[in-house]
Structure 1
Amino acid sequence: MEVIAAVAAGAIASACQNAVLSSWLVSICPQRDYAKELGERLSRNAHIYTPGSDNFAAATTRWSAAHAPEAKLVVIPSIENDVAETVKYANELGMPYLAVNGGHGAIKTVGKMKNGIQIWMHQLNGVELSEDETQAKIGGGAKTKAVTDALWAAGKQTVTGLCECTSILGPGLGGGHGVLQGRYGLVSDQFVSMNIVLADGSLRTIDESSDLWWAMKGAGHNFGIVTSVTSKIYDIIHRDWAYESFIFTGDKVEALYENINSHLPNGGSLPVDIMHYSFFFNNPEVDPNNPLIMFFIIQEGNMIVDPTYTKPFHDLNPIAVDGEGGVFTDLATWMGNANTSPPCKKAGLVNYRFPIDVESYNIPAQRQVYDLFASATKETPALNGSFFLFEGYSTQGVKAIPSESTAYPFRGDNLLISPVINYAAGADAEIDAKAVELGENLRRILHEGSGREEMHTYVNYAYGEETKQNMYGYEQWRQDKLLELKNKYDPERKFSFYAPIV
């Protein structure tokens, strides 16, 4: 009997080591102190937050309140090896984990992370220039504003997204669009090397000599946690930047987007110093019945946007015009994407995006989506805060890099389009269904208008129902290569919460 009891005790002790216990075991197993256990393996300045604390709530609050991952611990590494130790510990327990930078990834697939560890990267935020000042080592949690400000102070710049509160690596691992991409290519095209924690918990340095390098530049969320990246940086060519903005009423949809197609084409001929940006939005104080259209032209190297570009839009008789000159670091404030701007606030809203990349504007489709956006947001007032974003970056630098050289698949596209359907969290299921239906229908109209069989969607804006082909390309060789690398580097599918490839 003593032998049987000893065996039984050993079996129970072994079972109690599991992170997830059966209900009958909970009553007899002692409660494990995961925070204490993991904390003993981390560096002195690392932190661990547990549910119920103010810090935990702040760390887990996201830009979109829908489909949030569920964490039992939040780990804040202070050195890169802390990430490796956290992954090893989680693997030992069989717990899932997810790295988080700015918390702006709204894709619904992250909500599949349950009862796991969130690795909040924000302490890994350094920006260090190389001795020859041609490269910078950027921490895995560094935000856009920190990077642009640090480089600007040194007379340097690189490709980043426009929004100050998002990270460099969050968008960069999916390609990463930015204002300077016409000169230099995507955010990921600047990568020289990176430190990455793989699924087995090893911390490695990789560069173009690694077979994994191709995948990290466009599908990188699927293969590891990047703790730092070394990126190309460049001398500032022009310190001066300018914008001019216009507000149009809905009757100008056709004329506005025809003018953009005619005067600001992106098909390789949009100058590297120009970008345009527009969105539909509701402002009942100005027009209680229909959305308005905000349109920006941004130019590098001038304090006033060249009238050659702006005159065709003045001729459309906008209801408001504005403009200003300044420097590159003013752009986010001008465009409403600064740290203090509404898009950077985590205001308890559900934010669904339904992206599509196209080559040019189909004018009848633009009218259709405007009318649908207007009617839907009017009929369902809860959706009235939604907006519909159209981004036109110069693409010369993007297209100069061979498409097959990186996992980013859609270098031939010119326009990045995304309806952002939002409403207050806690709304009933009917509102949620209406939001998804609206977003999908808006995208469907644009896809049909494009005349393409393929639907291209920017992975960093994805809703979460897109296919692997939509996000990572339709060529079979691309899909095969991604799967081969996934099987090699992450056979147990540890990194499958953000736009998974399998």
Structure 2
Amino acid sequence: MARPRVVQPLLLISAAIMAVSGTGGSLARFAYIRQEPEWPPEIAGSVHDASWPDFLEFMTRNNITWLARSGGHGYSPTLRTIQNAVMVNMENFRYASINSDLSVSIGSGATFQDMIDAVGGAGRELRATGASLGGGVGRLQGKYGITSDSIRRVRMALWNGTIVEASDDINQDLFWGVRGAGQNFGIVIETTFETYPASDGGMHYNVDMTFSGESLETVIDTINSLIPDMDPALAIITLFTIDADSLEAIVALGLVYAGSEVGGRRYAQLFAPFSRTFNESLIPWVDLPSQSAGGGVAANCQTGLRHNMYSLASRDLPTSTYREIYDSFSELIVAYPGLNRSIVLIETFGQEGVSALPNDYSAFPHRGEIHNLVVLEMVYTDDTVADVADDFAHGWRDVLAQPENSGYDRLVVYQNYGHDDEPLSALYGYDEWRHERLSSLKRSYDPKGHFNGYHAIPIDSADWS
């Protein structure tokens, strides 16, 4: 199929943006979306806050679709619904600044590293990632809750160009919805987060270990023993990964403790006797994203790779099932070496900070249901293995979703890790009151469905799956 290509709208959009752009202020840049691995060259034009109404009115009047792009991170296949569109590149909103109350205001073009450099430089830390609109899980959630729990204010452009703020004091309904379903309502321009005093002088205990496949059951059993009352400062990332030279499947485990070295080593020693390699260190909080878990998670964020990801939340990690997955994964890579950068990822984070807030605190629906996040991420460059990769990840996701494996009677999926085949209730919650509240917000803030590219909330609450 020939890629979509429309030349004239590009020229019209460029001219319109140039006409409404003033000088000064934060700028957004625009590019035309094509279905290609690399983003195309950007076209001329810019817009600042005062110009959003003109720009979005022009787009709406000419029935032109758009998509805002921040750091470029997002795997959801639902994005394929956006075709022949204009990309709003937010890179000129790239800033992170500490406020007088030690909160941090982050422009939507800022990278995660921009944020942690600013916060860490102020002797603070923050449970935050670019995934805050879907909730934001991570290593510090046991202490501070998920990312979106730390949001204190957002500034957004709505479909008609109106600039609004949302917080506990204004547009409280939108503020509720942005924290867990935020991709559905507008273009976020700026987010202000609460920050927290740095743990142990900003240093975190980190240990990276590898294990042979024979130790898999012991690794899983040890993790299971920690889950019921998991220390809020403890975070564990487990990977089934591949040695690139031998194509041997191995188990890699990254343990981070946001507390004293003595406290972290106490947990590391539970795994040490049967580890094949054991590398411990103290890492500044600002370096955790690039250095923890052996840098393996960060390495998969490089551009130019195909990613196909299925996931689910799981209360339990039954050892016999994960043995089957591990063996199946090993066999897959032997048969299809082009998939050797693929991983099976298990994120096990503390729950205390997440469960400290009531279930209706925000649109994030999974408090008490995210003990483990399991991700089957197929990574490749050769599309001839695409179908095989999809069959493996999809099939095992369905196996893991069975109640005897997940511990839940229904599929539970963290929205940022969603594919496109789950019922929406798996992402946004099964309670009817959630459906009604989210659909009401959609009708109020995006009545024409301009922000339907990322797990779209239906306008009518009767259309929930």
TM-score scaled by length of structure 2: 0.88
1:40 aligns to what SS in structure 2?
helix
Tell me the CA shift for residue 498 of structure 1.
0.8
Change (3 A) 1:72 1:331: closer
Tell me the CA shift for residue 106 of structure 1.
1.0
Q: Distance in 2 between matches of 1:319 and 1:30?
A: 58
Tell me the CA shift for residue 156 of structure 1.
1.8
- Select which of 109, 113, 130 maps to 2:82: 113
Q: Distance in 2 between matches of 1:72 and 1:84?
A: 25
Paired position in structure 2 for 1:17: none
Q: Distance in 2 between matches of 1:361 and 1:96?
A: 42
Paired position in structure 2 for 1:418: 375
- Contact 2:155 2:163 (8 Å CA) reproduced: yes
Paired position in structure 2 for 1:102: 71
Paired position in structure 1 for 2:214: 251
Paired position in structure 1 for 2:260: 302
- Select which of 270, 277, 280 maps to 1:320: 277
Alignment of 1:122-137 (within 5 A): 122-133=91-102, 135-137=103-105
Paired position in structure 2 for 1:33: 12
- Contact 1:377 1:383 (8 Å CA) reproduced: yes
- Contact 1:35 1:48 (8 Å CA) reproduced: no
Alignment of 1:144-293 (within 5 A): 144-161=112-129, 168=130, 171-208=131-168, 209-210=170-171, 211-238=173-200, 239-262=202-225, 264-265=226-227, 267=228, 269-285=229-245, 287-288=246-247, 290-293=248-251
Tell me the CA shift for residue 466 of structure 1.
1.8
- Select which of 373, 397, 403 maps to 1:443: 397
Q: Distance in 2 between matches of 1:91 and 1:320?
A: 57
- Contact 2:310 2:393 (8 Å CA) reproduced: yes
User: Number of matched residues?
Assistant: 446
Tell me the CA shift for residue 315 of structure 1.
2.2
Q: Which amino acid aligns with 1:179?
A: R
Moved more, 29-38 or 354-363: 29-38
- Contact 1:79 1:124 (8 Å CA) reproduced: no
Q: Distance in 2 between matches of 1:354 and 1:178?
A: 18
Q: Distance in 2 between matches of 1:333 and 1:304?
A: 23
Q: Provide, for residues 367-401 of structure 1, a one-character-per-residue CA deviation record: whole Å limited to 9, x for no partner.
A: 12112212222222222221111111111111111
What is the CA RMSD across the aligned residues, in angstroms?
2.8
Q: Distance in 1 between matches of 2:44 and 2:143?
A: 38
Q: Distance in 2 between matches of 1:450 and 1:47?
A: 43
Q: Distance in 1 between matches of 2:436 and 2:44?
A: 34
Paired position in structure 1 for 2:416: 460
Q: Distance in 1 between matches of 2:147 and 2:13?
A: 37
Change (3 A) 1:155 1:339: farther
Q: Which amino acid aligns with 2:222?
A: N
Change (3 A) 1:157 1:48: closer
Q: Distance in 2 between matches of 1:30 and 1:254?
A: 58
Change (3 A) 1:121 1:437: same
Tell me the CA shift for residue 94 of structure 1.
0.9
Tell me the CA shift for residue 131 of structure 1.
2.0
Tell me the CA shift for residue 197 of structure 1.
0.9
Q: Distance in 1 between matches of 2:268 and 2:124?
A: 29
Q: Provide, for residues 224-247 of structure 1, a one-character-per-residue CA deviation record: whole Å limited to 9, x for no partner.
A: 111011221222232221111211
Q: Distance in 1 between matches of 2:45 and 2:137?
A: 28
- Contact 1:77 1:120 (8 Å CA) reproduced: no
Q: Distance in 2 between matches of 1:463 and 1:417?
A: 13
Whether 2:312 is the aligned partner of 1:333: answer no
Unaligned stretches of 5+ in structure 2? 459-465
Change (3 A) 1:73 1:487: farther
Q: Which amino acid aligns with 2:189?
A: T
Change (3 A) 1:301 1:340: closer
Q: Distance in 2 between matches of 1:182 and 1:94?
A: 45
Change (3 A) 1:337 1:308: closer
Alignment of 1:48-67 (within 5 A): 48=29, 65=37
Paired position in structure 1 for 2:463: none
Paired position in structure 1 for 2:461: none
Q: Distance in 2 between matches of 1:142 and 1:74?
A: 21
- Contact 1:74 1:120 (8 Å CA) reproduced: no
Paired position in structure 1 for 2:300: 343
Q: Distance in 2 between matches of 1:181 and 1:341?
A: 19
- Contact 1:354 1:420 (8 Å CA) reproduced: yes
1:355 aligns to what SS in structure 2?
strand
Paired position in structure 2 for 1:386: 342
- Contact 1:73 1:116 (8 Å CA) reproduced: no
- Select which of 355, 358, 372 maps to 1:402: 358
- Contact 1:71 1:118 (8 Å CA) reproduced: no
- Contact 2:30 2:89 (8 Å CA) reproduced: no
- Contact 1:275 1:394 (8 Å CA) reproduced: yes
Q: Distance in 1 between matches of 2:29 and 2:90?
A: 12
